Amino acid sequence: MHDFEKLFDDRWVLGRRFAGDKERLAHVKILRERITLAREERAKRQEELRWRFQQPLISMTTNVPGPDKDLPLAGLLKRMAVSCIESAFFTSRVKIDYSESRKTAAGPEFFLVPEGIGARALKRMMIDIENSHPLGRFFDIDVIDADGTHLERASFGFPPRQCIICDRPAIECIRKGTHSLDELLDEMGAMVLTYLREAP
């Protein structure tokens, strides 16, 4: 067995053994409360960095289905995304003023403040990474302008992110509960394993 396949042995939070539905639901409730707090802390950190540097910044997380965002797989995806971002900056000769990684209940987070690049050009670079990488669907790379504006993909003419199963807008499937968590995790796992097996 490859080392990366071990990531899928101890499966996701809903695959753990619980005494019953009551215990499982209580666990999920705790996770959701922790995620809410972590997201509030992320927003505070974004504001702190924005005021400190007065420049556009990157705030990156991972798109992992389900209530448990702090998974080994999420850490792997984060490292892939960071590598892509740093490579894009190196190729474009964009310097980095500041970077920071954090591990939270909402999953791994990465903040980066580049030097000498506008927010729109920065967002285009990040969209290119999300669209071109085989696992870019699981990268959530936000760009926040110096004035606090969050740049959206739609303002660049790009459609909403697609569902990994049916290719419809992911937000629609999430709202309707079109796919089960097991279906989403299985598809995600298959995509990651395929990529890692074929990577040089």
Domain with residue 60: its CATH number is 3.30.70.260
Of 116, 117, 102, 112, the C-alpha closest to 70 is: 102
For residue 19, give every residue at least 6 positions away whose Cβ sits within 8 Å of its Cβ, in sequence order, or none: none
Which pTM was predicted?
A: 0.84
Residues 30 and 125 in one domain: yes
CB atoms within 10 A of CB 192: 21
Is there a domain that residue 120 lies in? yes
Residues of the chain with pLDDT under 70: 1-28, 200
Instruction: State pLDDT tens for residues 58-97.
Output: 999 999 887 778 778 888 999 999 999 999 999 999 999 9
* Alpha-helical segments (H) within the chain: 21-53, 72-92, 119-132, 170-176, 181-198
pLDDT of residue 86: 95
pLDDT of residue 21: 58
Domain span at residue 192 reads 159-200
- How many folded domains does the chain comprise? 2
> How many Å separate Cα 162 from the centre of its chain?
14
Residue keyed to tokens 């499966």: 11
CA distance linking residue 55 with residue 57, whole number of Å: 6
Is there a domain that residue 106 lies in? yes
The amino acid occupying position 44 is K
- The tokens of 141 are what? 């790379």
